Structure 1
Amino acid sequence: MRSIHDPRYQDLIKKLIELRESKDVTQVELAQRLVKPQSYVSKVETLERRLDVIELVDWLKALNIEIGEFVNQIKLYN
């Protein structure tokens, strides 16, 4: 199974979307903070592109969230 199809990864992305939306940040605004095109954010959020751990840290930093705080909010273990 490709890891992008792993339910845990899908839950992680759903949580990132919820986090972005809860902070009233659009995809365009997040992309600007990341110095990336809006399509980058869209592809991550629609599971067309996978985030690596460095990109995840950058994404969270752009939303002013500590990685430890984020990890405590998600369930990665079955």
Structure 2
Amino acid sequence: MKAIFEPNYRKLVGWLTAERKFRKCTQPQLAEKLGFPNSSYISKIENFERKLDVNEYVKICQVLELDPHEGIDILLKPSPDTRRL
């Protein structure tokens, strides 16, 4: 299964999106802080059109002043789909 369809990956991206919004940081603002020319980069991650790699994840956490471990904990929690495995 592709990572972008896994429930825990979706929870991780959902967490990042919620935290970005909570901090009142727009997609264009986040993209600018990350050094990207436009917000389509962030939009594609948040809409599951582009896979987030670990370096990007850490950079986003740093910009949003988040603890990356908090998001990793989301990935480590078994989703209801995988408990049977």
TM-score by length of 1: 0.88
User: 2 CA distance for matches of 1:24 and 1:17?
Assistant: 11
Cα distance between partner residues in 1 of 2:44 and 2:26: 14
For residues 9-68 of structure 1, what are the alpha-carbon distances to aligned partners after superposition, in whole Å with 9 as ceiling and x for unaligned? 001010001000010000010001001120000000000001111110001111112212
- Find the aligned partners of 2:61 and 2:35 in 1 and give their Cα distance: 14
Identity %: 36
The count of aligned residue pairs is 77
What are structure 1's unaligned runs of at least 5 residues? none
RMSD: 1.4
State whether structure 2 residue 28 is matched by structure 1 residue 28.
Answer: yes
Partner of 1:14 in structure 2?
14
| Aligned match of 2:66 | 65
Name the CA distance, whole Å, in 1 between partners of 2:57 and 2:75: 16
Q: Which amino acid is 1:53 matched to?
A: V
Q: Give the C-alpha shift of residue 8 in structure 1.
A: 0.6
Residues 21 and 51 from structure 1, CA distance in 2 versus in 1: closer, same or farther, beyond 3 angstroms?
same
Partner of 2:57: 56
Give the whole-Å Cα distance in 1 for the aligned partners of 2:67 and 2:7.
23
Letter in 1 for 2:17: I
TM-score (norm 2): 0.82
